[in-house]
């Protein structure tokens, strides 16, 4: 009788001791930086275990720091993987994601690449050379007689704004219609340049 109590007690103590060594216990941070996150959807895992959802920072530039909520133990192996991506990126790459913990890990990089779409439109009645259009720091020269133009591709969900940097040498004045907007899931093709007279 006594020995069976003892045995049960010993088993209990043993279980308690073992559970203390379980997955969530640790003392080291696991994290780093991310970029290209302007929408919810990025999910990271450490191996097949701990899971972390990274929400976008409102008004931010898509970059930030992340740390898994669960700490990792000294000498534990870690392997940060991407389990889900926001729908406006073509993919997310993990750099320095794998190793064995010896101290706080802050060097993991998760780099997401935005999907990009074309920004182009039509040109009407352009009789001279020298017309230059810009979308911020991106510039395109449009020759006489052109009927269309193409600017650099724009990341999905980013704003764009096409404006005339230089009017053509023909003395004409060209104006932009539908010049501003936010890039959706498809190419923008409706920017219209009309030159007069």
Please select the residue that binds another protein; options are 31, 32, 62, 155, rule is CB under 8 A.
155
Nearer to another protein, 65 or 182 (CB): 182
Nearer to another protein, 22 or 59 (CB): 59
Q: Does 162 bind another protein (CB under 8 A)?
A: yes
Q: Does 154 bind another protein (CB under 8 A)?
A: yes
123 Cβ neighbours under 8 A, 6+ residues apart? 131, 142, 146, 147, 148, 149, 174, 193, 195
Site string for another protein, 74-113 (x = CB under 8 A): ----------------------------------------
Nearer to another protein, 49 or 60 (CB): 60
In the complex, minimum distance from the CB of residue 41 to another protein, in angstroms, rounded to a whole number = 21
Q: How many residues sit close enough to another protein to count as binding (CB under 8 A)?
A: 23
Q: Does 137 bind another protein (CB under 8 A)?
A: yes
């Amino acid at each position: 009788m006594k020995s069976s109590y003892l045995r049960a007690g010993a088993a209990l103590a043993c279980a308690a001791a073992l559970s203390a060594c379980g997955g969530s216990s640790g003392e080291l941070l696991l994290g780093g930086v991310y970029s290209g996150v302007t929408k919810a959807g990025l999910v990271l895992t450490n191996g097949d275990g701990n899971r972390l959802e990274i929400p976008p920072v409102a008004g931010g530039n898509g970059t930030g720091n992340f740390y898994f909520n669960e700490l990792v133990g000294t000498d534990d192996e870690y392997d940060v993987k991407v389990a889900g991506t926001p729908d406006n990126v073509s993919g997310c790459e993990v750099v320095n994601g794998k190793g064995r913990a010896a101290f706080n890990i802050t060097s993991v990089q998760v780099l997401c690449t935005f999907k990009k779409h074309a920004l182009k439109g039509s040109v009407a009645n352009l009789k001279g050379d020298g017309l230059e259009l810009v979308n911020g720091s991106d510039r395109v020269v449009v020759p006489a007689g052109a009927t269309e133009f193409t600017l650099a591709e724009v990341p999905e969900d980013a704003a764009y704004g096409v404006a005339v940097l230089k009017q053509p040498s023909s003395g004409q004045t060209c104006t932009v219609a539908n010049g501003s907007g936010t890039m959706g899931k498809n190419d923008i093709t409706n920017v219209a340049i009309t030159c007069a007279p």
